[in-house]
Chains A and B, each alone.
Chain A
Amino acid sequence: MYREKKRPFWQNALLSAAGIIVFFAIWELVVATGMVSPEKLVAPSKVIYAFFDKFHNVVPDGNTLDVHIITSLKIVLAGFLSACIIGVPLGLAMGFFKTCNRLLTPVFEIVRPIPPLAWIPIVIVMLGIGFQSKVFIIFIAAFVPCVINSYTGIQATPKVLLNVARTAGASHFEMFCKVGVPYALPMVFTGIRVSFGSAWATLVAAEMIASSEGLGYMIQQGRNASKPEIVILGMLVIGLIGAALTYLLGILERKATPWRKTHE
């Protein structure tokens, strides 16, 4: 069987860095050679300049980049964390206890297909146009994958494992806590990662609700002021932070499920 040679860490890091550099180089070339006119696509060098500039320049949106980042992070983390705190236990309980399943699954199935953005009008009426309503939109986006993955994860618990616990004298609730939940944990983490993805991806939409700061707001203002470098800067920062936080979640996941590394 053919197997790729295992590279040392620094070589892998270098390879990844090369991928990013080549991507930007091609982009720069495409603009510099005039293949795409600079009016239609801004050169990455201008975006990189805008990146450093934006830490003290408040034009066109009235705030520096760090303010936008912190505002957006607060909204997303508040929505995402509350979705995890409510969604994971709910999904686990629905998947394990038949009464919870009967009671809650129909409601959930109706709420589930409603796109997060469809909530905006009613959320504005009920919660106003402040922090809370944006958090709520993020919450809806993040909540669904948390519930679904926890639910399917715990439902897949092999009966024989529950029987092991039962013959060992466990109560039904102990079977839930000590067999069902740990069995579902890898799936729960997948759900959390997916859920973070949709939370972060819904940010720009949530900030369509009257904002005065935040990355989504910065993008809209860049567009209104015809500053494409600000638009693309906003997009790239969203991408970068999203990737970094997903990476951190991956580390947390490996720490929380140490038995899984043994499969490799």
Chain B
Amino acid sequence: MALPSVKIEISKLSKSYETKKGVVRVLDDVSFSVYENEFLVILGPGQCGKTVLLNTIADIEQPDSGSVSFNGDSSVGFVFQRYALFNWKTVIKNVETPLRYRGASAEECTATARKYLDLVGLKDFESAYPAQLSGGMKQRVAIARAYTSGSDTIIMDEPFGALDAQTRYQMEEEVLKLRKTEKATVIFVTNNIEEAIYLGDRILLFSDKPSHIVNEFVPELPRPRNRTSPEFMALRDEITAQMDLSL
């Protein structure tokens, strides 16, 4: 088997913030590689610096030291932690946004946006406003928007954290479905161990602040994964134990 090629190389990232209580070190010398077309899950406790890490990868924030380098296209499609939709735009206009900024023609924007709205099952809602949608639907819109960007890399920051368990399971299926049809490198952040195992080709477990990688897991479980299989639960227990230790 050919070695997988690296899409993003993250090396020696460190980041601190000055707060009223003094300097808080958030990222502590974080290095890892993200491989082409893999589904990488970043798992870590709340407030450990996951969002800071993703923002640094997406060039929204600058690290104090260290670097992020992309092999090829460095643009990303980003699904933010809270439904970050433009509430003054209809669903389809929201989804078109990244293409518009890239100067695509109106027809191309609409056609691409429709394609992804269809893929996330929101074809009939293209002229609704975000305020009319449920939480799950809003996050579908955000996911469609991330894919519409046409970037090779999709970053999702705890996309389902605010959803109820059932909607969450549905959304996880949606993400896996998109993964089959759309070629992309996915970085998916969560604090939910089950979600990490259900979705990830590879899982990086992060510690609490100052954040560093505790361990890497590659679930050798056939898909679709069974959350109640002994192998699944064994891995869950193993990760839980290590997560508790790192706190």
Contact (Cβ within 8 A) B82 A160: yes
CB distance from B191 to the nearest CB of A (A): 18
Interface-side segment among A68-76, A162-170, A246-254: A162-170
Flag the segment in A99-107, A129-137, A178-186, A210-218 that touches B: A178-186
Check if B131 sits within 8 Å of A160, measured CB to CB: no
Expressed in whole angstroms, the Cα–Cα distance for A258 and B132 within the complex equals 13
How many interface residues does B have (CB within 8 Å)? 27
Q: Does A263 reach chain B (CB closer than 8 Å)?
A: yes
Interface string of B16-50 (1 = CB under 8 A from A): 00000000000000000000000000000000000
State the B residues within 8 Å of A (CB): 55, 58-60, 75-78, 80-82, 84, 86-89, 97-98, 100-102, 129-132, 145, 149
User: Does any Cβ of B come within 8 Å of A16's Cβ?
Assistant: no
Q: How long is the Cα–Cα vector from A263 to B88 in the complex, in angstroms?
A: 12
- B75 → A minimal CB distance (Å): 7
- Smallest CB separation, B15 vs chain A (Å): 16
Given A168-B98, A169-B75, A170-B101, residue A163 in contact with residue B86 (CB < 8 A): no
Interface bracket on A: 20 to 34
Name A's interface SS.
helix
CB pair A262 B81 closer than 8 Å: no
Top-4 shortest CB links A-B: A168-B98, A160-B84, A169-B101, A167-B78
Selected from A166, A167, A168, A185, the residue in CB contact (under 8 A) with B88 is A185
A contact residues around B60 at 8 Å (CB): 163, 166-167
Chain A 76-104 interface residues, beta-carbon cutoff 8 Å to B: none
B94 to chain A, nearest CB (A): 9
> Is the C-beta of A53 less than 8 angstroms from some C-beta in chain B?
no
A224 in contact (CB, < 8 A): no
CB distance from B42 to the nearest CB of A (A): 17
Q: When the two chains form the complex, which single residue of A158, A163, A170, A179 contacts B78, counting CB atoms closer than 8 Å?
A: A163
Contacts A164-B145, A168-B100, A258-B129 known; list 4 others, CB within 8 Å: A164-B86, A165-B101, A182-B86, A257-B88
Between-chain CB contacts (< 8 Å), 13 pairs: A160-B82, A160-B84, A161-B84, A161-B86, A163-B78, A164-B80, A165-B97, A166-B60, A168-B149, A183-B88, A185-B88, A259-B88, A262-B131
Quick one: CB contact mask for A118-133 with B, threshold 8 Å, 1 for yes?
0000000000000000
Which residues of chain B come closer than 8 Å to A185, judged between CB atoms?
88
Residues of A within 8 A of B145 (CB): 164
Known: A163-B60, A182-B88. A168 touches B129 (CB 8 A): no
